[in-house]
Structure 1
């Protein structure tokens, strides 16, 4: 038996400026498409939270951010796993980084992570054993970060042109980085455009980290 997992998803509430779909509807649609699980990677960025609330009221900021994941978690069952991740962007940059393995309780204890830069973010995430991937690194306006600061690269992104995805894969291979695929889901038309196919089920973030490190999976690419 094989299992399909979505690794790049945004909800209406956690990515409020660009997500348009309710968590319950996302879970339902992915189940209908035969996926065995999903990682909620809402935008932890200035796109989602204004400076005032992020800087001066970090608890409200985090409660709002995690709430969308907790809402989707209600629709988890024995055949469908819901895991917590994030897509972080810092102030004054267009670069996005997918974080896998992140723990919601750990995140509640942090300050405003938007104030960090790539090196600081890398050190902090790696101190917890999390994995850091640069998302869609060849989109217009995005610069490639120092490869020393990341574990991997999103080489296939469902919202990104084929040529840019191919450049991302080449860059990942040149720098000997882990690779991953994701739909970058925001609206129903972007459903199930990416993800991974595994031989073993992924039930939680520990399973996810082990699978990503092993690269023992097939990447979904829907050109």
Structure 2
């Protein structure tokens, strides 16, 4: 049996400036497409936390960021898993980093993650055993991160053109990095454009990290 998982998804609440879809509708649509689970990676960035919130009281707004995960979690069942991740962006940059394995308790204990840059961000995430991937690294306006700070690269992104995705894959292979695929879902027309196909189910973040490290999966690409 094969299992399909989406690794890059945004809701209208956790990614409030660009997401347009309710968590319950995302879960329903992915189930209808035959997926076995979703990693919710809402934007932890200035797109979600404005400068005032991030600087002075980021913890106050963590509930707003985490609540969509719990809303989607209501639609989890024996055949469909919902896991918590994040897409982190720092101040004054267009770079995005997919973080896999994130724990809610840990996140609530952190200060302003928006103020961290790549080296410190990488050190912090790796201290918890999380994996750091640069998302869509060849989109216009994106600067490639120092590969030393990355575990992997999003080599296929459903919102990114083929040439940019192929450059990302070549860059990942050149630097010996792990690789993932994701739809970068924000609206229904972006449904099920990416993800991975596994031979074993992924039930939680521990399973997810093991699977991503093993690279024992197929990439979903829609071109």
What TM-score range do you get, normalising by the shorter chain?
A: over 0.9
1:76 CA displacement: 0.6
2:150 aligned with 1:141: no
Secondary structure in structure 1 of the residue aligned to 2:195: strand
Deviations 1:97-152 (A, max 9, x none): 00000001110000110000000000000000000000000000001000000000
Deviations 1:155-209 (A, max 9, x none): 0000000000000000000000000000000000000000000000000000000
Matching residue of 1:193: 193
Secondary structure in structure 2 of the residue aligned to 1:172: helix
Secondary structure in structure 2 of the residue aligned to 1:72: helix
The 4+ residue runs of structure 1 with deviation greater than 3 A are none
Q: Tell me, which stretches of 5 or more residues in structure 1 are unaligned? A: none
Secondary structure in structure 2 of the residue aligned to 1:114: helix
Matching residue of 2:108: 108
1:55 CA displacement: 1.7
Q: Tell me, which stretches of 5 or more residues in structure 2 are unaligned? A: none
Matching residue of 1:171: 171
1:59 CA displacement: 1.8
RMSD: 0.5
Give aligned pairs, total: 223
Give 1:17-96 correspondences, 5 Å limit.
Answer: 17-96=17-96
- For 1:175 and 1:48, how far apart are their aligned partners in 2? 31
Matching residue of 1:211: 211
Deviations 1:56-104 (A, max 9, x none): 1222221111111111111111100000000000000000000000001
- For 1:175 and 1:136, how far apart are their aligned partners in 2? 16
- For 2:40 and 2:14, how far apart are their aligned partners in 1? 9
- For 2:208 and 2:64, how far apart are their aligned partners in 1? 24
Secondary structure in structure 2 of the residue aligned to 1:137: coil
Matching residue of 1:7: 7
1:22 CA displacement: 0.1
- For 2:37 and 2:93, how far apart are their aligned partners in 1? 31
1:219 CA displacement: 0.3
- For 1:218 and 1:145, how far apart are their aligned partners in 2? 25
Secondary structure in structure 2 of the residue aligned to 1:25: helix
2:184 aligned with 1:184: yes
